[in-house]
Amino acid sequence: MLRLEKRPQPSKFWNLATPVLAVVLTMIAGGLLFAALGKDPFIAIKMIFWDPLFSQQFAAYSRPQLLVKAAPLILIAVGLAVGFRAGIWNIGAEGQYIIGAICGAAVALAFFPAPGWYIFPLMVLAGAFGGWAWAMIPAILKTRFNTNEILVSLLLVYVAEKILAAMAVGRMRNPDGAGFPGSRNISQYPAASNPELIAGTGMHWGVVAAFIAVIFTYIMLHRHILGFQVQLAGQAPRAARFAGVAPARLVVLCLGFSGALAGLAGLFEVAGPARMISIDFNSYYGFTAIIVAFLGRLHPVGIVLAGFLMALTYIGGELAQFMLGLPSAAIQVFQGMLLFFLLALDVLSNYRLRLNFGEAA
């Protein structure tokens, strides 16, 4: 019989090894899935993980996409990780991302077509504020009324999606757009656009923001008292209260921080790669970022690596969809499986597996 024995402390080795092992297992399971769909698993896996970076045919287009896709994922996941560490579950980043984009776009559309260096910085502020404000709803309901932040933040995603639809066909619709839904093209409005900073790299202001956020979060978590409080609140809530951690303040801080970062991600996306507010502007970055946060072991550096890997599955998935006719949902399944394997393998870092023969009663 296999028996679990709790480790006194999580194993450092398995902590680092499990994400790698999970990726390998997901590739195997994913390969089986692709084979079941009638695609050659080896070609499909190579197309997802290798070709976007190294194939002569595709790399020129795909490589810059890596930064474009990884930046919002990392930006959102870093924020979420802080809350997850403290046991505060913001799973509505998708909604905060949408509202951030709407607020940022609103600033741009209000100034259109005036020039001015101050417009883009104002949009950045508005984006962060929008995401922050949307996250403050579950935060305040949690601290004031003890309402479950998981359910509230998630339900607000659906509300945000409806607001997005209302904006795309209503208030923000392009007046010169012949009645089609969607706003003006913000990326073609010079004072408000979030352009590619270095041609051919995919580098835009969102990438810069993501790296600043990673460094900031690293310092906060590992060099500041707040990081200690987050850790303590997550692992021993009672001890945290004795140590003087105010739970309500922590909820507001964690949700606000992750909301602001998600809002920023939305703003950079709408002013850059997505170009405008449209009905289907959101692309589930907010949910995928949850997987990124776990895959990165809730650690800023890990999240950077995980963000790039996840971005790769997006890009490679699109490539496989285009070249092999692999359904886009297959990639979603692939990402879901990754999270399953990751959570399953966590048992190795927290428990020791023991084989014992002949149970002594």
Distance, CA of 287 to CA of 196 (rounded, Å)? 25
DSSP string, 175-220: TTSTT-SS---GGGSTTT----SSTTT---HHHHHHHHHHHHHHHH
Region binding other proteins by CB under 8 A among candidate stretches 175-183, 193-201, 211-219, 340-348: 340-348
Pick the binder of other proteins from 11, 15, 201, 350 (CB under 8 A): 350
Region binding other proteins by CB under 8 A among candidate stretches 68-76, 113-121, 183-191, 328-336: 328-336
DSSP type of residue 304? H
Residue 361 beta carbon to other proteins: minimum distance, rounded to whole angstroms: 12
Pick the binder of other proteins from 116, 121, 170, 177 (CB under 8 A): 170
DSSP string, 145-177: H---HHHHHHHHHHHHHHHHHHHHHTTTS-TTS
Pick the binder of other proteins from 24, 50, 162, 177 (CB under 8 A): 162
Select 255 or 271, whichever has its Cβ closest to other proteins.
Answer: 255
Residue 89 beta carbon to other proteins: minimum distance, rounded to whole angstroms: 6
Distance, CA of 84 to CA of 233 (rounded, Å)? 10
The SS3 assignment for 231 reads helix
Pairing of strands 2-6, 351-355: antiparallel
How far apart, in Å, do the first and last CA atoms of the chain sit? Answer: 13
CB 347 within 8 A of CB 361: no
The verdict on 230 binding other proteins (CB under 8 A) reads no
The verdict on 32 binding other proteins (CB under 8 A) reads no
Select 218 or 327, whichever has its Cβ closest to other proteins.
Answer: 327
Select 115 or 336, whichever has its Cβ closest to other proteins.
Answer: 336
Residue 235 beta carbon to other proteins: minimum distance, rounded to whole angstroms: 12
Region binding other proteins by CB under 8 A among candidate stretches 119-127, 138-146, 177-185, 236-244: 138-146
The verdict on 89 binding other proteins (CB under 8 A) reads yes
Estimate the crossing angle of helix 59-85 against helix 225-235, to 10 degrees.
70
Helix (H) or strand (E) holding 354: strand 351-355
Residues that bind other proteins in the complex, under the rule CB under 8 A: 4, 6, 89, 91, 141, 144-148, 150-152, 154-156, 158-159, 162-163, 165-166, 169-170, 287, 290-291, 294, 327-337, 339-340, 343-344, 346-347, 350-351
